[in-house]
């Protein structure tokens, strides 16, 4: 099943810029390039605002997720 990035890659066709030599990226721009960190932070903050939750940084969200996984005792099953 193709994921969001696969669909973006197919839609971009030859202008997709990520190559096999580049690391696999979780977040990319519209054409496979690394996303600017400020753009990611702005979009994440907009999502927090839209959801009506207190804005936190992406870094804090990562740590919150890790803490919740440990508290639920499922962190080790992800390895």
**pLDDT tens figures, 50-65:** 999 999 998 999 999 9
Answer for the pair 69, 60: CB distance below 8 angstroms, yes or no.
no
For residues 11 and 25, give the distance between their C-alpha atoms in angstroms, rounded to a whole number: 17
**pLDDT tens figures, 16-55:** 887 677 767 777 888 888 888 899 899 999 999 999 999 9
For residues 55 and 25, give the distance between their C-alpha atoms in angstroms, rounded to a whole number: 24
- In this prediction the pTM is 0.60
């Amino acid at each position: 099943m193709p994921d969001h990035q696969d669909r973006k890659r197919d839609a971009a066709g030859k202008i997709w810029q990520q190559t096999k030599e580049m690391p696999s990226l979780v977040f990319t721009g519209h054409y496979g390039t690394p996303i600017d960190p400020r753009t990611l932070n702005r979009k994440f903050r907009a999502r927090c605002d839209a959801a009506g939750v207190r804005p936190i940084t992406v870094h804090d969200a990562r740590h919150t997720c890790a803490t919740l996984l440990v508290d639920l005792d499922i962190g080790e099953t992800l390895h």
